[in-house]
């Protein structure tokens, strides 16, 4: 018995004009999507610092891979050159001699934030010793002044050299103490127009016992006498509003 084939109608049932219109619309949507440029990733590039972080083995990409110093974080950024927002997240604890050994010159056109890992209440004057606030010391536990690898005194925790491009860097929720200077911000060139008041934010940072006398003095800091105490709010120009 032979097999007979019989045409039973169109593959798609329904009005042929509606089918053609649907196909045309789908093609238009597909071509429109393909014509859109691929946007750069907006994921945040995160680096983790911990009081007990590693000085060499870790890459800072997670809490379990945390590093120890701001200098390490800076070197990671210089090597990786991420084209996305950056967060340097600092766990609670004491960070002695963990600052920058060179001026901060990394900027990529995206926001860069250096802040505590946990939530820290504001203002800093009321939460100086909050357990989530990391403390950066400019002296060792024996009172000796922190030095860079080249043997020079670590005068500032951070020196920001403002670039030619528009960018934004924020330092937030940390405590800086016993440094000659806490944070210094300067233009890349004195001939360039200043954008420091627009591009640098110092928010909820406690500056405690900052200056030559406090970094060079040996002994119990409580015996120094009246200490200069500064905190920075969220509104700032040229490095911060002190109150």
pLDDT tens digits along 95-147: 999 999 899 999 998 999 999 999 999 988 889 999 999 999 999 998 888 88
Residue 204 preceded by cis peptide, ω within 30: no
Instruction: Between 36 and 20, name the one with better pLDDT.
Output: 20
- Per-residue confidence (pLDDT) for residue 52, from 0 to 100: 92
HEC assignment per residue over the chain = CCCCCCCCCCCCCCCHHHHHHHHHHHHHHHHHHHHCCCCCCCCCEEEEEEEEEECCCCCCCCHHHCECCHHHHHHHHHHHCCCCCEEEEECCCEEECCCCCCCECCCCCCEEEEEECCCCCCCHHHCCCCCCCCEEECECCCCCECECCCCCECCEEEEEEECCCCCEEEEECCEEECCCEEEEEEECCCCCCCCHHHHEEEECEEEECCCHHHHHCCCCHHHCCCCCEEEECCCCCCCCCEC
Instruction: Count Cβ atoms below 10 Å from residue 135 Cβ, excluding itself.
Output: 20
Q: Residues 50, 68: contact at Cβ < 8 Å?
A: yes
234: alpha, beta or left? (left if phi > 0; alpha if psi -120 to 50): alpha
Contacts of 97 (CB under 8 A, 6+ apart): 137, 138, 139, 140, 146, 147, 154
Domain positions in the chain: 45-232
Longest dimension (CA), the chain: 113
Per-residue pLDDT tens digits for 46-66: 999 999 998 778 999 999 999
Question: What is the rounded average pLDDT for all residues in the chain?
Answer: 77
Output Rg (C-alpha) for the chain, integer angstroms: 28
Instruction: Between 20 and 176, name the one with better pLDDT.
Output: 176
Measure the CA–CA gap between 201 and 173, rounded to whole angstroms. 11
Per-residue pLDDT tens digits for 170-200: 999 999 999 988 898 887 665 655 555 568 8
First to last CA, the chain: 101
Query: The tokens of 240 are what?
Result: 């911060």
C-alpha 54, offset from chain centre: 19
- Per-residue confidence (pLDDT) for residue 205, from 0 to 100: 94
Half-sphere exposure of 37 (CA within 13 A, CB side): 3
- Per-residue confidence (pLDDT) for residue 17, from 0 to 100: 59
């Amino acid at each position: 018995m032979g097999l007979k084939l019989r045409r039973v109608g169109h593959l798609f049932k329904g009005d042929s004009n509606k089918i053609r219109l649907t196909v045309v619309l789908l093609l238009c949507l597909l071509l429109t999507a393909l014509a859109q440029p691929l946007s750069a990733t907006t994921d945040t590039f995160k680096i983790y610092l911990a009081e007990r972080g590693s000085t060499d083995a870790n890459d800072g990409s997670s809490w379990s891979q945390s590093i120890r110093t701001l200098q390490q974080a800076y070197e990671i950024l210089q090597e990786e050159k991420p084209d996305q927002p950056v967060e340097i997240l600092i766990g609670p604890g004491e960070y002695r001699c963990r600052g920058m050994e060179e001026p901060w010159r990394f900027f990529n056109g995206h926001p860069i934030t250096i802040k505590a890992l946990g939530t820290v209440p504001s203002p800093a004057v009321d939460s100086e010793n909050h357990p989530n606030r990391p403390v950066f010391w400019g002296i060792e536990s024996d009172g000796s002044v922190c030095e860079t690898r080249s043997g020079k005194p670590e005068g500032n925790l951070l020196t920001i050299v403002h670039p030619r491009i528009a960018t934004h860097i924020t330092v937030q929720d940390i405590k800086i103490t016993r440094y000659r200077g806490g944070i210094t911000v300067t233009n890349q060139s004195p001939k360039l127009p200043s954008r420091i008041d627009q591009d640098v934010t110092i928010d909820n940072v406690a500056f405690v016992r900052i200056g030559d006398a406090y970094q060079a003095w040996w002994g119990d800091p409580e015996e120094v006498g009246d200490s200069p105490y500064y905190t920075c709010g969220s509104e700032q120009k040229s490095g911060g509003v002190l109150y």
